[in-house]
Structure 1
């Protein structure tokens, strides 16, 4: 019987407008942990128990900016992370004209670091930061280099916010429109490194109108019944074998 890697290779060979939709599992192979693994921070200091989702919520950013930035810098920024085989394989597919877009829920910029150009960042990026008052731009290093626990704008002294979508905040409309457009035009959708439980991001795959969906994830998802091919394995290993070897 034909193995799953060969099936994936044939699907890639027979399609020319592929879209990849990825989540945290793509970056964990670059040693970036899912932030949900962190819990119980600041319980003693603030005399409250916060879930990881609450720690990256708009409310927490506004009410407890010092604790927000401590968690953010320690758990969501990984300056030394490098692209892994999954990122490299996707960049290779884009370079040969097979892959039209990468849609990612990650904020680490590793797809761009690997050479991918058309990357749609549903949840923003740690590399972009803006003053909440005057909108002055700060790249990640500029923001980290500012003195104090809370980054304040050196022009108007207002707080700087990372350009990441926090819980309770809407997604960027332009990115959403580009995502819907890319998915609606794709002929093959490869979903990897995500359990498809984060909404509204996961709901966008319903806009896909092509003929085949490939699901690559270490565990099962609620969308397995819609897939033409399911591979429960490492996303980097699978894409590397299917594309780079």
Structure 2
């Protein structure tokens, strides 16, 4: 059977679906990833990018952190692509329990998804470290230097930096979804970032589907392995016919 048709049939015949995605979902919206040949880790900076977006660097070199963060981590003009839209449609049809994403760009919510667990936080949430006041992303994009709260505290993005722990409530809900899932679709991720990638071990269902442009450590465990664009694959699988029919 054609792999797209097989994916379509699996989606049609199951209602407890969870999607686990990574940077490859967002690259199709023009947001660069970290690890590919053109990714941020291959570019030359005064400090290595993985050092710049670390907890210790944020506190020791805040000006350099925000210079990099504004230039390379926030993409306010990015729009949801076919993958985001297909997943939002599946949620609206009652097929999708939720999206577990390693991305921080908020594109799933922009596409209409309501049930989204952001393992690494979001650029759209920012808070004062001193008084806890919430700030929109414009508090960072429309300022220069280290952004400050009206109380004088430093505004910090609600993203998980290197050396920081994942949010416990987010992990808990993600694990609950994975344990309930009949189908797990993994897409646009190399499954190389831990502890996030380790969460998929909680999945106990019968249909593990992996969609990616390059090999992953989980390929041999997949019931269906599709090499290609996550946006094109999901768009073809979801939108050719009404899945709920």
**Is TM > 0.5 for Structure 1 vs Structure 2?**
yes
Structure 1 segment 140-159 matched on structure 2, within 5 A: 140-146=137-143, 148-154=144-150, 156-159=151-154
Deviations 1:102-161 (A, max 9, x none): 000000000000000000000000000011111110011133234x3110111x211111
In the alignment, is residue 68 of structure 1 matched against residue 72 of structure 2?
no
Q: What is the CA-CA distance between 1:226 and the residue it aligns to?
A: 1.0
d(CA) in 1 for partners of 2:186 and 2:197? 10
**Is the CA contact 2:139–2:147 (under 8 Å) kept in the aligned structure 1?**
no
**Is the CA contact 1:193–1:218 (under 8 Å) kept in the aligned structure 2?**
yes
- TM-score normalised by the chain length of structure 2: 0.94
**Is the CA contact 2:17–2:97 (under 8 Å) kept in the aligned structure 1?**
yes
- SS of the residue 1:66 aligns to: helix
- Residue 194 of structure 2 corresponds to 199
- Residue 231 of structure 1 corresponds to 226
d(CA) in 2 for partners of 1:145 and 1:5? 44
**Is the CA contact 1:101–1:119 (under 8 Å) kept in the aligned structure 2?**
yes
Structure 2: which 5+ residue stretches go unaligned?
241-245
- Residue 56 of structure 2 corresponds to 59
Structure 1: which 5+ residue stretches go unaligned?
44-49
- SS of the residue 1:231 aligns to: strand
Deviations 1:22-61 (A, max 9, x none): 00000000000014522331x2xxxxxx322111100110
- Residue 9 of structure 1 corresponds to 8
d(CA) in 2 for partners of 1:179 and 1:89? 20
In the alignment, is residue 213 of structure 1 matched against residue 208 of structure 2?
yes
Q: What is the CA-CA distance between 1:225 and the residue it aligns to?
A: 1.2
2:171 maps to which of 173, 176, 180 = 176
1:40 maps to which of 27, 36, 44 = 44
- TM-score normalised by the chain length of structure 1: 0.94
Moved over 6 A (4+): none
Report how many residues are paired: 235
- SS of the residue 1:130 aligns to: strand
**Is the CA contact 2:85–2:111 (under 8 Å) kept in the aligned structure 1?**
yes
